[in-house]
Structure 1
Amino acid sequence: MRLHSGNSEARNKVIAEFSKWQLDIGDGKVKCIDTQRTDAETEFVVPDEYVVKSPLKSPIKTLINIIYPDFQNNMHSQEYLRSRSILTPTNVVVNDINAQILKRVPGNVHTYLSQDSIEDMGVDDNDFDSSFPVEYLNSINMPCMPKHELKVKVGVVVMLMRNLNQILGLCNGTRMIVTGCKKIV
């Protein structure tokens, strides 16, 4: 619904057609390529108008250029940032996109690390600490957990992933702009 605001009637028609196509995929109404498959995988043809062709060797850079045209001149505009986003199916793609966009934002990169140890709440003399080496804890990358290393710059957009204060509007999916980076003591 957010996509329809402020567009021409022709643009809204294109958005509606794309939305319907996406819903049809989810409902299994799009014609499959191979109807004889027995596994849960389904293959179908994506119409050319929904495919981003990349003349560059990096399709992620092409996608960023399409979604965020003239980024350097508009990156300080809240309306510009508010009206755009890139949704991805996996954390790997998210990480690649974030790294590319972070390179485009001027300023110093600030790196914040997660807690890299587990508190032992039990027996004093055990092998609990050696069971989970710091390197292993830092390498865990699961869909419901943030990465060990967070890199940000002043001016980048971040998305809140855990409810902090719903009364103040700080709930899952809230997008915010980093206005300062402090040292952790």
Structure 2
Amino acid sequence: MRLQVGSSIDNVKELRKFSEWLLDIGDGIEGGENDGEVDLELPADLLIQDVTNPIKTLIDVTYPNLLAQLWNPEYLHERAILAPTHEIVESVNEYVLSLIKKDERIYLSPDEVCSDDRGTGDDDIHSNEFLNSIKYVGLPNHQLRLKVVLW
């Protein structure tokens, strides 16, 4: 809806049509009757044609001239990439982080399990490798890579 502000009438109509299409998908209307699965035909202009490096293409289209605009917070606030899985989000983040030529700091989560206060002796039921592999919404990954970018 924010894209409509200051847009031409033709652009607003196109955005409204796209918004209605997305809502129809969410409501299960688009694609006809289904049992929880449906094949949708996506418009060609929404598809990433580059199969060798689709993440690079996605970044280039969504964030054109990213490195020159990296210091502009408004540029970043106006764009977003939505992804269906955490693995894709991680791939996109890793790629963008690799573009930024700044010093990197790596932070790791603690490698210890808190002792069981009940005295059951179950302190070692999960290995460090298992605990470090957990990826969950709202919980930072075991390894957090950061680069300082000042505006």
Equivalent residues in 2 for 1:1-185 (5 A)? 1-32=1-32, 39-54=35-50, 57-124=52-119, 126=121, 128-155=122-149, 179=150
Q: Is the 8 A contact 1:117 1:137 kept in 2?
A: no
Kindly provide the CA deviation profile for residues 149-181 of structure 1, in whole angstroms up to 9, marking residues without a partner as x.
1111112xxxxxxxxxxxxxxxxxxxxxxx5xx
**Shift in Å, 1:69:** 0.4
> Aligned partners of 1:115 and 1:152: how far apart in 2?
17
RCO comparison, higher one (Cα < 8 Å, 6+): 2
Answer with 116-125 or 137-146: which moved more.
116-125
1:150 is paired with a residue of what secondary structure?
strand
Kindly provide the CA deviation profile for residues 56-112 of structure 1, in whole angstroms up to 9, marking residues without a partner as x.
611111000001101121111111111111111110000000000001112011111
> Aligned partners of 1:2 and 1:64: how far apart in 2?
21
1:146 is paired with a residue of what secondary structure?
coil
Query: 1:42 is matched by which residue type in structure 2?
Result: V
Identity %: 35
> Aligned partners of 1:152 and 1:47: how far apart in 2?
36
**Shift in Å, 1:143:** 3.3
1:130 is paired with a residue of what secondary structure?
coil
Give the number of equivalent residue pairs: 150
> Aligned partners of 2:109 and 2:5: how far apart in 1?
39
> Aligned partners of 2:109 and 2:6: how far apart in 1?
41
1:131 is paired with a residue of what secondary structure?
coil
- TM-score of the superposition, structure 1-length normalised? 0.72
CA gap 1:124/1:73 in 2 versus in 1, 3 angstroms: same
- TM-score of the superposition, structure 2-length normalised? 0.86
**Shift in Å, 1:125:** 7.1
Q: Is the 8 A contact 1:117 1:134 kept in 2?
A: yes
> Aligned partners of 2:66 and 2:36: how far apart in 1?
40
1:172 aligned residue: none
